[in-house]
Every structure is written in C-alpha cells, then in structure tokens.
Chain A
Amino acid sequence: MNIRNVVLAAVAVMLCASQVWAQTPIRFGFPIPLTGEIPKVGESSKFAAEMLREQVNAGGGLEVGGKKYPLEFIYEDNESKPESAVNVTLKLINRDEVVGIIGPQSSRQAIPAGGVADENETPMITPWSTNPDATHDRPWVFRAAFLDPFQAPVAANFAARQFTAKTAAVLYEVSNDYSKGLADNFTQVWAKMNGAKSVLAVESHGPKDQDFSAQLTKIIGLKPDFIFLPENYSFVALIVPQARDLGYKGPFMGSDAWGSAELMNLCGNDCKGQFFSTHYAAAGAKGATREFIDQYQKKYGYVPDDVAALTWDAVNIMLKAIQQGGKVEPDVRKMRKLIRDNLARLSNFEGITGNMRFDDQGDPIKCAVVVEIADDGQFTAVESVCPQ
C-alpha cells in the first residue's frame, strides 16, 4: 500500500466519521471535586454521568425535535475548594461554551459557583447541594436534592424517636457551608422540640483538622443522648473512632454527606449501627433505581452512592428540559435561555431518587430516607420521610 492510498483511506474514514457526527454535540460541563477533601464524590459523579452519556450516545444521541444530537461532557476538577469551583465554572462557561452546568456537588462549592452561573446566564443544576443559598434568588440555578431546612427536622425527629433522646450535641466543620448550615438548622429544630437548653454543646473544627479529642472530650463530658455529625465522610471516619477511644458509647446521627461509597472503607467497624438521613437507599431498591444500581455496579464494581444517583437524575432533568424545548439553537446564549426556561417550567420529574416537584426557587420537593449502616456495611433504609 503506498502513501496515497493511506491518505485516501484516512480521508474516507474522516468523512464517514464526520457524517455520523454531523450534528454539533450538546455540551455540558461538570465542575466536580475529583481531588481534595471529597474525591470519591467527584468520582461517583463522573462515573454516573459517563454511564448516562454512553447510553444516550450508543442510541445515536439525544433526540430533540426529530433530530439526534450526541452528548459531550466536560469534567473539571474543583479540588473541593470554593475558589477553584468558581474558576472552573467560569472556564466551562466562557472557554468551553457549555449549554448547561451539572455540579458542583457540595454546598461549599455550589454556593459560589451558583453565583457565577447565574451572573453568566448559564443554567446549572447542582445534584447534591442541600444548603438553600445555592439556589436562593438565582433564577438560573436548580438542584436535584432536598434542602437542609427539610433534612434537619427529619434527622431530629428520627433521633428523638430512635434513641429516645432529650439532649443532643453537635460537631461540625466551620468552613463548610453545608456542615454549618445543617448544624444551625438542626440546633434550631432540636431547641424548639426539647427546649433551649437541650442542645448541650455546639462544637466545630477546621477544614484540615485530624484530631478532635478536645471537642469530643468536652462533648462527652456533658453526656448528651446522641451526637449529631453533619460532616463529610472523611471526617466521620476520624471522629467516630476517636469518640469511641475517648469512652463514648452513645449513638451518632449523621447527614447525607456520610453516604459515600468510601465511608465504610475508611471507618470500618466503628460506624456500623449508626444512622444518617440521605437521598436514597441502594439496598432494597426497585424499578428504575434497581436497574441503575445494577448497571453501575456491573460497570464500576461497587454500589453507587447517593451522589451518583443524584447526578444521574440531574443530567436527566437537564436532558428532559432540552427535549421539551423542542429544538437546539446554534447560538449558545439562546440555547442556554431555552434550557433555563424549560427547566423553570418543569413541574414534575420521576427520578431514581424519587419523585420530585419543583417550587418557584427551583428546589425539588421530595422525600428523604433514614438509613442504618448494617453489619455488612450496606446502607439499609429504616424509614422514608416525605414533606407534607
């Protein structure tokens, strides 16, 4: 074969390929925490999104108004830092010209990044952020998770019943909007339920701390009925064993940031038997949720955590809004506007983390579950709490 044939063949292949990908792709950006404090969260988001993208593209792409468009996802690392989240979100909006943003996951990054997306008129859905500020007064920002003012009473009511508790103590991370917001919400709710003095201690720690013995000694000395820990899983794995070492025998109540697939690898036996409120429970799931879990487990080798499920839902919400728009505008700004308008119009969505209705802030109204960490390390649903 001489050189001319090779060149001709290459040109032919390129022509064929360009025939298949004639449609300009629909491009989404994911500013997610691939490194830093919560790398497993970033990994889960990326895995879930990739799985969905491959599925849609294998079927020829997303069908909008009778034509099929391939999906293109760009993942950027926000390093679990607020300032990096702002930078990469801006980069995705201005340089990569994405039509929509999925992420960031934690409220600590989602609140500043949401501001950027809103100012630049780019629709954004944060899958996992539960702090109200992420979407508050931001018409371009939406979410797929419930809110902390809803999660806090779920946790408080459950703990009051399960542990027959009257008193509580709280330990949270001071520089994390999620952790601090939820701690505040919980303290208010608990004080309302059991009187102003019933929250015995509200202690905090910094983002790089590894030793919590001072705070825990203080808390344990006050003998609370349980300790509320609205913390990321990497801290949970340090705090719970340290409390046991200091002689604490009571229960912990956790929040949705516990629910990473990595929690049990890090925490081990000490976390077994504890409870936390979350978005979905993998054990015992049915229907579309089961299908998603099986597919994910087969592909990546572990049970998807709540972040994976919520990312899956968030991307699907975005796709549904595009389909409802009925067309793909070649102009990025017009396309973003079209997506936003249709996201705002969306009143109901059947997701794998449950049915959601959207209120006028772009926040879903959906159920929460409380799970127990079983002896085999699985998160088993104990109860489901739905808003009235």
Chain B
Amino acid sequence: MEQFIQQCVNALQWGSFYALIALGYTLVYGVLRLINFAHGDIFMVGAYIAFFVSTFFLLPDGLFGFSRELTLALTLPLTVVLTSLVGVTLERIAYRPLRRKGVHRLYVVITALMCGLILENGNLALLGASRKTLPDLIDKHIYTFGSIAVTNLKLWVIFAAFMVFIILHAIVTRTRIGMAMRAVSWDEFALPLMGVPLDKVIVFTFILGSGIAGLGGLLFAMSYPVLEPYMGAMTGWKAFIAAVVGGIGDIRGAFVGGFLLAMVEIMVAAFLPSTFRDLFAFSILLLILWQRPTGIFGLPTTTKI
C-alpha cells in the first residue's frame, strides 16, 4: 500500500512535466488549430536557458556571484521571459509568413516539425554533444513518511503545475484576452471584422505556451539535471499524446491527460515487467482513444489534422 502511494507521488511529479508541456500544445492548437511540433524543443531550449542564466548568475564563478536563493529568484522570471521570446520568434519567422500566404495548415505543421529539428541540431552545433548539468539551486530535503519519500523539489514541481493550470484557466475563461483567444479558435476570419487584433492574440498565445514550457524546462533541469539537445523530443511527443488523449484544444484535457499518461506509465512499470512499459502504456491510451476519439474533454469537430 505504501508502495502504491509512493508510485502515485512519482506519477504526480512526472505527470506535472507532461501537463506543463501539454498545456502549451493545447493552447496553440486551441487558438490556431495548429499542432506546434516544435513545442517539445522549446521546452528543451527553456532548460538550456535556465542552465545559462543560472550559471551566469550563480556564485562562485558566475558573473555577479549572487546567492543561490537570489539566483533562483532571477532565473525563474528570466527563463520564462526568454523562452517565450523564442516561441514568439518562431511564430514570427516561421508560422506567420505562412499564415499570411493562407497556405493549408498541414504545411505549417510540417514547418513546426522542421523548426523543432532546427532547434535540436542548432543546439548540437552550437554547444556540442556533451551533457550539461544545472547547478543545485535549492537545498534538497527528503521528507519521509514511513517508507514514502518525497523531496521538497518534487512538491514544488507539483505545486507549480497546479498553479499554472489554475492561472491559465482563469486567464482563458475570465479575461478579455482569454475571450479573444477563444474567439479566434471559433472564427479566425470574422474576428478582425469585429475589431479584435488577431496577431496580438496569437502572439499572446505563444507567449503563454512558451513561457509555461520555459518554466517546465527550468523545473525539469532542476529535477533531472542532465541536459542534452534531444531531451525535448521524446518528452514533447509524449506530452502531445497526453494532450490528445485529454482532448486537444481543451486546457483541462491537457492537464488531466498529462497526469493520466504519467500514471499509466508509472503504474505499468510498477506492476508489470518494466521492459514492456511503453508497449502497455500506449496500448492503454489507444484503448481510451478508441472509446473517445476526440479525447476525454474533446468535442467532435469537422476539420482536424
């Protein structure tokens, strides 16, 4: 029983990362009906930005020699801001020109896939293949209850995922810009006629999605401190699957889907031979999609890619 609770804690922590990345996928999809396949790599860029920002500030060899608390306090907003800049830049140089030309969405998706590969290989060319490791930004404490162990970092990760979800949900459902985002997904062409600045709304969406990916990257780099250029690809794909299972385009879906995927992965490894983990995990997800092709929270629509 204690082991089961421990596995649940593991799944909550691992699911937090899927949820954070899946939220970015679902935001962009929800607004633009675009699967932003570069999103996993934006998450990777976020982790690297966290690495550079923190080593830049951190004592003793950093530029300013700040204390660790101050470093973390500065790394957090800087990572989020810089990563969202990367996301906005991608939108600006890769997606917007295509959108202006009015090409089919499929081409934009392929462009996104290529942008992801460019980010991966650009990183490889720029920084080399050797692994980077994030310096310790917080003192790790391990709390044990019986045989259940949890670190303060894991609690922070879970807390952050829930906070992001609550804030994001509030933005989308309670604010004017959130209303505009929902309106874009409803009818992209009628919207400018109503005086809503379409490009601003889209940029805002990318800022939100990439910023969350940046936060995820920072937390991921703190929890799994071995950074490599391809780290975002696999995690990104799985998070995309999580978003689809949850019902892509729906924020609740991405959040629930992320935790569901992690729960399935961890429980399969826990109670079945771990060799078959992905085989069983994705078979289960396939069964879910079989029952509900549009995902748990998804509504049937006529055009999807």
What residues make up the interface of A, taking CB atoms closer than 8 Å to B? 34-36, 39-40, 42-43, 174, 203-206, 208, 210-211, 213-215, 217-218, 220-221, 234, 237-238, 241, 244-247, 262, 265-266, 268
Contact = CB atoms under 8 A, between A and B. Distances in A.
B6 interface: yes
B3 interface: yes
Contact of B3 (A203, A210, A218, A234): A218
Interface in B117-148: 124, 128-131, 133, 136, 140, 142, 144, 147
B149 interface: yes
Interface stretch (B181-189, B210-218, B264-272): B264-272
7 contacts: A39-B128, A203-B274, A213-B10, A215-B269, A221-B6, A245-B151, A266-B225
Contacts of A246: 6, 149
Given A204-B274, A247-B149, A210 B13 contact: no
Contacts of B228: 234
Given A214-B265, A234-B226, A246-B149, A35 B274 contact: no
- Among B124, B147, B226, B273, the one with the most A-chain Cβ atoms within 10 Å of its Cβ is B226
Given A206-B277, A214-B277, A237-B225, 10 more contacts: A39-B130, A40-B130, A203-B269, A205-B274, A210-B235, A211-B10, A213-B266, A214-B10, A214-B265, A214-B266
Given A39-B130, A247-B149, A214 B274 contact: yes
Contacts of B133: 237, 265-266, 268
B252 interface: no
A5 to B, nearest CB: 42
Nearest to B144: A247
Interface string B198-228: 0000000000000000000000000011101
Contacts of A268: 133, 136
A46 to B, nearest CB: 12
Nearest to A40: B130
A217 B3 contact: yes
Contact of A217 (B226, B233, B270, B278): B270
Nearest to A223: B147
Contacts of B151: 245
Interface of B: 3, 6-7, 10, 13-14, 124, 128-131, 133, 136, 140, 142, 144, 147, 149, 151, 154, 224-226, 228, 230-231, 233-235, 265-267, 269-270, 273-275, 277-278
B222 to A, nearest CB: 11
A210 B269 contact: no
A241 B274 CA distance: 20
Chain A interface main SS type? helix
Contacts of A35: 124, 129
Contacts of B230: 208
Contacts of B269: 203, 214-215, 218
A215 B128 contact: no
Contacts of A206: 277-278
A39 B274 contact: no
A213 B7 CA distance: 8
A142 to B, nearest CB: 28
B275 A174 contact: yes
Nearest to B9: A213
A40 B130 CA distance: 6
A43 B265 CA distance: 35
Nearest to A220: B147
Contacts of B225: 237, 241, 266
A266 B133 CA distance: 6
Contact of A234 (B131, B140, B278): B131
A245 B148 CA distance: 10
A266 B231 contact: no
A245 B154 contact: yes
